[in-house]
Amino acid sequence: ELPFAKLESWLSQFYKTDAQMGVQFIKKETGKLGFDHYRYHQTVNGIPAELSMFIVHVKNGLIHSLNGEFFSNVSTATSSSLSENGALVKALDYINATTYKWEIQAQEDHLKWEQNDPLATYYPKGELVLINVDGKIDAALKLAYKFNVYAEEPLSRRDVFVDAITGNIIWEQDLIHEADVVGTASTLYSGTQTITCDNSSGPFRLQETGRGNGVRTFTNNNTTTYSNTDITNGSATWSTPDAGLDAHWGAEMTYDYYLNAHGRNSIDDAGFQLNSYVHHDNNYSNAFWDGQRMTYGDGGGNNTPFTAIDIAGHEVTHGLTSNTANLVYQNESGALNESFSDIFGISIDFINRPLIADWKLGDDLGFTLRDMENPNNYNDPNTYLGNFYYLGPNDNGGVHTNSGVQNFWYVLLVDGGSGTNDNLDAYTVNPLGMTVAAEVAFRNLTVYLTSSSEYADARFFAIQSTVDLFGGCTAEVQEVTNAWHAVGVGPKYTPVTVSDFEAPLFSSCSAPFTVNFNNLSVNGITFNWDFGDGNNSTLMNPSNTYINYGTYTVELIADGGPTCGVDTIVKVAYIVVDSLLPCVSILPQN
């Protein structure tokens, strides 16, 4: 295992250009299994590569594993010929809104109040970044200005990337993550529930400070203007039904779920304040997370508020995703983004209303947005690239439609099931229950997935998350793998142990020579190493110091227990310590 302090010098060996590579720290999180998880952006000549994100998993000061996107061959300009103001003009011409948030003083004042920052503004500030054309990670990198543009009319909030040389729009990312609902119907609420409110400034209002940094619910009074307008009542007994009560209770229950089930203090694990705004606009048939708050419309005729608990949990989970994997809201990564919101929104519903909850999102409103158990019923796919799978440009590349694939995976994992998918593959999945399924999905989202992750990544790291939680070659690994096979992502589970390893450096011109071995085995539970010099180890990722010159054969025996068996790999003459070899040094970054 590599010491964490040597991360940057180790990464430099993979960089293939003369441009100066660096890393930009994003955040650190401490997991339940004793690991610290560090998220980074890659930088080139000090400029961040927007879609590069990699996660370093560290235990006891040693790097256990690393995953994510790291661009190795960068050849692009890193100085702009277009001014920031000139680029902003291009961005606003592209958005072409009639009104923007920063043009409305009440909106600016509210933002300053909401963020407790007298300098806060919606006015876009340009940031120089490197962005892949059309947001595709295999496309060329371009130097661009990134602007966060929040339009009032028509409503939109987007990151717009303007080529810093030509002024062309390279890409845009939609930041309004919606529940995707169209229609009107009668609303069914959740009956009488226990909520927390306060009366510190007069009448009772929907605010509390006990959960994280607070849960607050306000009304927009059927306008598009955000304000700190409280929903009030004469006592702590709220007898008149209101959408604000559902939104407030839903936010509280979502906070409690992430804290109690996953040990997370709000969506950023630091007590992020959950602000909800109800009665948004007139006849607004949707709900959305805009990057900092939840907003709920009242539906057609203003009589169907989009504040059911599964929708509230869905929108808050978009905030969790933006603070962890930050899945780009486009194509497969966007479908995963929507799916995780569905998964946890519905899970929160089952926990809080076990007698009436089901796998349908939004059915409390009198119609269904998506059916996780039967996605095909609403023209959503249950098989990757199968029937109803959407490959066009609408809906940000089908983010709501194609969420059906992982949604159905989750249902199979919870309840089990058997059948034949659209690829004509027969499958059987035994149920693991919601607690186990949610643990796997949560670890996958918060520990492993990155901005550009796709369905293949979701499968791989869901399996890895299961191994982390329950061990290799377990019943849990079998069902997680088979559930992905059922939805057309990857082969079915094979109970076989495969032994494999590698070393970042395996030759040296001088002795002693210390080698760090990375264990790549599949389904192994215990390990036995023979380093070829008389030394042995049973560690998962050991290191060995070769004292003498010579050529050494390394053997690894991986034991997967009675179910998966034993496998051995022998790499002949793998380690070479010879004074005739060229001496290679990795210099420090400075």
The pLDDT, as a whole number, for residue 371 is: 97
| pLDDT above 70: percentage of residues in the chain | 94
**pLDDT digit string (tens) for 101-123?**
999 999 999 999 988 899 999 99
The model's confidence at residue 429, banded by pLDDT at 50, 70 and 90, is very high
Q: In the predicted model, is pLDDT for residue 324 greater than 80?
A: yes
Q: In the predicted model, is pLDDT for residue 339 greater than 70?
A: yes
Q: Which of 315, 338, 373, 476 is catalytic?
A: 315
Q: In the predicted model, is pLDDT for residue 387 greater than 70?
A: yes
18 to 45, 75, 141, 351, 462: CA distances (angstroms): 10, 9, 16, 54, 36
400 a catalytic residue: yes
The pLDDT, as a whole number, for residue 180 is: 34
The pLDDT, as a whole number, for residue 18 is: 56
Q: What tokens does 546 get?
A: 């070769």
Q: In the predicted model, is pLDDT for residue 134 greater than 80?
A: yes
The pLDDT, as a whole number, for residue 255 is: 97
The pLDDT, as a whole number, for residue 227 is: 86
The pLDDT, as a whole number, for residue 73 is: 61
315 a catalytic residue: yes
Q: Report the DSSP pairing between strands 543-546 and 54-59.
A: unpaired
Q: Which of 132, 143, 125 is nearest to 88 (CA)?
A: 125
Q: In the predicted model, is pLDDT for residue 189 greater than 50?
A: yes
The model's confidence at residue 16, banded by pLDDT at 50, 70 and 90, is low
- For residue 93, the surrounding DSSP H or E stretch is helix 84-95
Residues 344, 434: contact at Cβ < 8 Å? no
Q: What is the mean pLDDT of residues 185-209?
A: 73
Q: Which of 583, 424, 569, 409 is nearest to 482 (CA)?
A: 409
Longest dimension (CA), the chain: 87
Q: Which of 497, 461, 500 is nearest to 481 (CA)?
A: 461
The model's confidence at residue 20, banded by pLDDT at 50, 70 and 90, is confident
Q: What is the mean pLDDT of residues 278-301?
A: 93
Q: In the predicted model, is pLDDT for residue 519 greater than 90?
A: no
d(CA 474, CA 481): 11
Better-scored residue on pLDDT, 9 or 133: 133
Q: What is the mean pLDDT of residues 72-89?
A: 79
Better-scored residue on pLDDT, 178 or 343: 343
Residues 130, 141: contact at Cβ < 8 Å? yes
Q: What DSSP letter does each residue of 519-569 carry, written as one string? A: E--BS-SEEEEE-SSS-EE--SS-EEEE-S-EEEEEEEEEE-HHHH-EEEE
Mean pLDDT of the chain: 89
The pLDDT, as a whole number, for residue 398 is: 94
Q: In the predicted model, is pLDDT for residue 184 greater than 50?
A: no
Q: What is the mean pLDDT of residues 158-183?
A: 77
Other C-beta atoms lying within 10 Å of the C-beta of residue 585: 6
The pLDDT, as a whole number, for residue 186 is: 28
d(CA 169, CA 267): 32
Q: Which of 41, 110, 280, 400 is catalytic?
A: 400
**pLDDT digit string (tens) for 166-178?**
999 999 988 876 5
The model's confidence at residue 147, banded by pLDDT at 50, 70 and 90, is very high
Q: In the predicted model, is pLDDT for residue 486 greater than 50?
A: yes
Q: In the predicted model, is pLDDT for residue 22 greater than 90?
A: no
Q: What tokens does 43 get?
A: 């930088």
Please tell me whether the peptide bond between 3 and the residue prior to it is cis, using omega within 30 degrees of 0: no
Residues 211, 201: contact at Cβ < 8 Å? no
Of 177-181, 233-237, 419-423, give the range with the top mean pLDDT: 419-423
The pLDDT, as a whole number, for residue 243 is: 93
Q: What is the mean pLDDT of residues 219-243?
A: 88
Q: What is the mean pLDDT of residues 131-145?
A: 86
Q: What is the mean pLDDT of residues 277-301?
A: 94
The pLDDT, as a whole number, for residue 15 is: 63
- Read off the pTM: 0.79
Q: What is the mean pLDDT of residues 306-315?
A: 95
Q: In the predicted model, is pLDDT for residue 201 greater than 90?
A: no
Q: Pick the range with the lowest mean pLDDT from 130-134, 480-484, 564-568.
A: 130-134
